[in-house]
Amino acid sequence: MAISSGASAGLNEQLRLQMLKFATLQLRDPTLAEDAVQEAMLGAFRYADSFNGKAAYKTWVFAILKHKIADELRKRQQLTTVSELDNEGDQQFEEKLFNQNGRWHKQERPQRWSSPDDSLENERFWQIFEACLDGLPASQGRVFMMREFVGLESPEICAELALTVSNLNVLLYRARLRLRACLENRWQQQGDCAC
């Protein structure tokens, strides 16, 4: 069954908006983000014959965008000031999760996931994951995306954001804690999985 040109245009616009959101989070400049998205979509159009269908079209186009973002981040050496790091809010968050001995509070302990492979395939999971990612403090969300989505190495992230490796590791640790807590609260406790 062929997709009509109107439906195709709608899918492309939806994809463009998702790409723009991702690029804006990483580049922190709507104009640069729009440029990166346009370059990625133009690259996808230009090299459409190289798309072999082994991955989803969206995955393929996002891979192009990730390379554009990584190139832009490597070109720029924008500094992030220490004041952008929300250490006080993170400390309160950690106190909510852990007791004075560094052990989990009973009600905050990680829950066992019965079938993570099934969850990964579920579109609802990724919608919740995106909402959880959006809920991270900006500094944590940015370093998490740079590491896990764009695929930059620690030295590249540290150079881009003027962070020490220790500072980067703390931000990544806190981002992962928040994501895990959010996923447990929004995903597993809603009955959306076979727990």
Paired tokens of 15: 């994809």
Strand partners, 171: none
Q: What is the pLDDT of residue 2?
A: 41
| CATH class, range 82-190 | mainly alpha
The pLDDT confidence band at residue 176, using thresholds 50, 70 and 90, is: very high
| Tens-place pLDDT, residues 135-160 | 899 889 889 988 888 888 899 889 88
Mean pLDDT comparison of 159-163, 164-168, 191-195, highest-scoring range: 164-168
| Tens-place pLDDT, residues 1-27 | 343 444 456 667 888 888 888 888 888
Range of lowest pLDDT (33-47, 77-91, 93-107, 179-193):
77-91
Mean pLDDT comparison of 18-32, 69-83, 119-133, 160-174, highest-scoring range: 160-174
Give the up-direction half-sphere exposure of residue 170: CA atoms within 13 A in the CB hemisphere: 12
Q: What is the pLDDT of residue 177?
A: 92
Q: What is the pTM of this model?
A: 0.52
Residue 70 exposed, middle or buried by CB count within 10 Å (0-12, 13-18, 19+)? middle
Average pLDDT over residues 162-177: 92
| Tens-place pLDDT, residues 84-97 | 445 556 677 777 77
Domain ranges of the chain: 5-75, 82-190
Q: Do domains 5-75 and 82-190 have the same CATH topology?
A: no
Architecture (CATH level 2) of domain 5-75: Orthogonal Bundle (1.10)
Q: What is the pLDDT of residue 111?
A: 67
